Amino acid sequence: MKTNLILTIFIITVFLITGTSSFGFTKSGNQTNAKGEGNIPKYGNWKNFTVADGLPGNKAYAVRVDGDRVLVGTHEGLAVYEDDKWTTYTTEDGIAHNGIIAIDVSELTGDVWLGTMGGLTRWSGGVFESFTQLNSGMPNNLIYSVVCDGKDVWIATGGGAGKYDTYSKEWDIFTEQNAPMHEPWTYSVCAGDNKVWIAAWGGGVIEYNNKTKHFRDYVDPDGNMEIDLFPDDGVVHDITTAVSWSNGILWVATYFGLSRYDGVHWKGYFDHDSGLASNFINFVRAVGDYAYLCTDQGLSVTDGESWVTYVRNENNHDGKVIITTGEQKSEKKLSPSISHNFVIGVDVKDDVIWVATSYGLSRGERIN
Amino acid sequence: MNNRVFIFSLFLIIVFSGIFSNAQDKKIMYGNTPDSIFPYNNFQKAYKYHFIEPRIEFLGAGREKKAPTDLTEVRIGFLGPLENSPIVDLGKQMLNGSILAIEEANALGGYKGIPYKLMIHNDVGLWGAAANEVIQMDDEKVWAWLGSIDDIVSHVALRATLKCEIMMVCTGDPDPTFTETNIPWTIRVISDDRQSSYALANYIYRTMKHDRIAVIRTGARYGRVGVMEFLGVANRLGHPISMEERFAEMGETDFTMQLKNIKNEKPDAILIWGNAKETGLIVNQIREMGMNQPIYTSDRAVSDEFLKIAGDNANGIVTTCQYDPTADNPSLKKFQADYYKRFGMEPNVFAAHAFDGMNLIIKAIEKAGLNRVLIRDLLTDRETFQHYKGVTGEIILDASWNDVGDIFMAKVENGKFVFFPAAQMKERGHSTRMVGY
């Protein structure tokens, strides 16, 4: 009898100890897989480009497909790939700065807009025209992001977001003085559904409604930089690095993980609870139902439920594809793989993907 | 009987294995933050903890780049408030400390016979301007850079330095959020306002047993973010701030309106968070209004300017300081003598930390060679320079590359600051044995 009593106390004690150590908010490892990884575009037949192939520099910040040509922003200038040839444009041609960080193409006019380390450049009709703080109402010369939204061109800078009306040729500047930003440090901008979203460093995401001209903000509800208190309660961190919108979904990248917002619910993703290659996300581009995530440890593609991640081996040109659905994970060899695992930019058009990395550019073809 | 012994032994093993598994917590304690004051810790474990090992690394390319062979100077950048800023005096001291380190290194032969050259940039304290300065440093091909003091400038510069991939050594910005960005291109070698707040709160609430504190602070970001940590700690220790008043960053000299409100509140003590000039003026006006409460201040009061303005009213004021300038440290004594000889003035906290920070950059360049990524790797590996003994004391970086070395209290006695070590909060650091880790 006494032994039973001791045994019971022991079991309860062990239960309490183990229970205490795992106390807290836990997330289920089993997630539903309504869409399935089979629908996520998968890419192969990778071809890589470096200086040896004609790029002006190996560090590629941005890539944009523009019809039959591909525009690549590097630290040493703009590289244009057309008819299997590379052509380089630099400050000598009229670009504001050789460090080209962001690229967008206006659907309205076909003009190319370049966000550089020294100003904003428009490439129109073969002529480069540059905007700087000195010759225009731009908030700062270091342009982290540029996006064309109809007649407007939006930029994100460390001195605030700017909107350039190409008809009136006037700038509107948005900072903590006239928008719900904690600080005016903005690093990404995207547009869609008659709205514009701005990634504000330390201030989460700012939404601007083109119709009402009103702003609203989305911040991490726990209000602390060192934690994410609850999963799926809002943007995972206030230090946001990139935003992209497609098919009603806003994707928000941070250096701490990824967030997905469907207009009602937020969902957070980290590398420990999903197939995300790394929590350090340089850039995100949403195309259709999929988000293409440029991380410091590879390229991930997701629909929010399943994941396909491309990584390169350390010591050779090969790599692997990691497919994750819920807790199920599988790997396939990839030969060759992407140019480098530190991925900075991506663009997708039809069945071709272009990936800008810390060391070279990659082109892949859809294989499913 | 044997059963009981077996069960009891098993019980002891399980209990003690739990205790032993906590041994690593000391090593990974973020920001010297004890359990009792970690956000939400008394109510809810977080789903994800950041800034705890294994921390982020820079995984990009660049280590393969060969050093140039045609250099005539090895350039190191400097960004500080040198013109058109309310903290020019602090910036000039930071520049002097940097210059002294460069001159000493050049006297020893520079980098393999090539002299170091400081590329000096002014931060004007306006939003965004620092980004342009960092881009200029990239164009100038600096190998690393040092700066700044203003937290706005530092944040903007940090994001730009990530894009350019140039190592930034921060020796003057105390904003706790600066290193909470996960950017692997900076270290901070000065204690931040989180450490100052912990030290102040410990002293105010536990040593002096005050309960109700009124705060008056600058409306600038330095005041807003700086005092934020103190407010958090005060709340978690069970002493919510009874009142918070603000004043303008520049130009305000009459604080009667704010101080009347504080007087009516009858707090046990008053905490001032601002630059030296305004802090001195506020101390005087507090006493002129007949308030005799103990006064505590942020660390920028540790200056001749504050002592001169506050005069006798400064006596009894307690603040913090990121080092002890009276420490019996031979390298500190030598630095102070060399500095006085070179610049004709006593070095302040920004000069001393800049001297240490610039020496770290120089040592990293000499060890790693002329490659930005390799210089970064050495400065951030938390091995090569961990526990570096500089003129400001021992530099210890936590997993966010934030300096969590010793911090000191400073009390004015007979018109001079007297320094003594801040008491540590003794609780164990927060556990990482939870979801996400």
If asked whether residues B132 and B173 sit together in one domain, one would say yes
Q: Note the CATH number of domain A47-366.
A: 2.130.10.10
Same domain assignment for residues B110 and B225: no
Whether B316 is covered by a domain: the verdict is: yes
* pLDDT confidence of residue B30: 73
- Is the pLDDT at B205 greater than 90? The verdict is yes
More confidently predicted of A202 and A165: A165
Q: Name the strands in the sheet holding B116-122, side by side, starting at the edge strand that comes first in the sequence.
A: B116-122, B74-80, B144-147, B167-170, B186-188
Q: What is the pLDDT at residue A15?
A: 42
Task: Indicate which CATH number applies to the domain containing B91.
Answer: 3.40.50.2300
Partners of A231 on chain B (C-beta within 8 Å) are: 47-48
User: Are the beta carbons of B160 and B144 closer than 8 angstroms?
Assistant: no
The residue-averaged pLDDT of B168-188 equals: 95
Place of tokens 């598994």: B21
Considering only CB atoms, which chain A residues are within 8 Å of B15? 17
Residue ranges with strand state E in B243-298? 243-247, 269-273, 295-297
* Domain coverage including residue B313: 194-321+410-421
Residue given tokens 């003091």 in the structure block = B149
Q: How many domains does chain B have?
A: 2
**Residue B242: pLDDT band with limits 50, 70, 90:** confident
- What is the C-alpha separation between B84 and B123, in angstroms, rounded? 9
How close is the nearest chain A Cα to the Cα of B60, in Å? 5
- pTM for this one? 0.89
- The Cα diameter of chain B in Å comes to 84
- Write the ipTM: 0.89
What residues of chain B lie within 8 A of the CB of A96, using their CB? none
Pair B337, B286 in one domain: no
Angstroms from A108 CA to nearest CA on chain B: 30
Q: Give the residue from B229, B203, B417 showing the smallest Cα distance to B308.
A: B417
Residue B58: inside a domain: no
- Residue whose pair of structure tokens reads 């439920």 in the numeric block: A305
Both B304 and B337 in a single domain? Answer: no
The two tokens of residue A178 are: 């006239």
Is B228 found in the same domain as B104? no
User: What's the rounded mean pLDDT across residues A48-61?
Assistant: 98
Q: What is the pLDDT of residues B65-79, one digit of tens each?
A: 999 999 999 999 999
Mean pLDDT of A56-80: 98
The phi-psi region of residue B241 (left if phi > 0; otherwise alpha if psi is between -120 and 50; otherwise beta) is: beta
Same domain, B302 and B347: no
**B 97-156: CB under 8 A from A:** 126-132, 134-135, 138, 152, 155-156
Q: Distance between CA A123 and CA A127 in Å, rounded? A: 6
Beta-carbon pairs below 8 A across chains A and B = 175
Q: Are residues B212 and B312 in the same domain?
A: yes
Regarding whether B238 and B90 lie in a shared domain, the answer is no
**Does residue B275 sit in the same domain as residue B415?**
yes
Higher pLDDT, B229 or A94: A94
In this predicted structure, what is the pLDDT of residue B285? 98
Residue B67 belongs to a domain: no
Residue B91 lies in a domain: yes
What is the percent of chain A where pLDDT is above 90?
Answer: 84
DSSP character for B149? S
> Are both B285 and B417 inside the same structural domain?
yes
Task: Give pLDDT tens digits for A96-144.
Answer: 999 999 999 999 999 999 999 999 999 999 999 999 998 998 999 999 9
- In the predicted model, is pLDDT for residue B238 greater than 50? yes
The pLDDT assigned to A3 comes to 55
Q: Which of A10, A230, A255 minimises the CB distance to B181?
A: A255
Kindly state whether residues B103 and B149 are assigned to the same domain: yes
Same-domain pairing of B312 and B388: no
B128 pLDDT tier (thresholds 50, 70, 90): confident
- pLDDT tens profile B284-341: 999 999 999 999 999 999 999 999 999 999 999 999 999 999 999 999 999 999 999 9
For residue B158, is pLDDT > 80? Answer: yes
pLDDT at B5 over 70: no
Give the pLDDT confidence score for residue B134 in this predicted structure. 97
Helix-then-strand count for chain B, H and E: 12, 15
Query: Comparing A196 with B18, which gets the higher pLDDT?
Result: A196
How sure is the predictor about B206, in pLDDT bands with cuts at 50, 70 and 90? very high
CB B57 within 8 A of CB A244: no
B33 confidence band (pLDDT: 50, 70, 90): confident
- On whether residue B146 sits in a domain, the answer given is yes
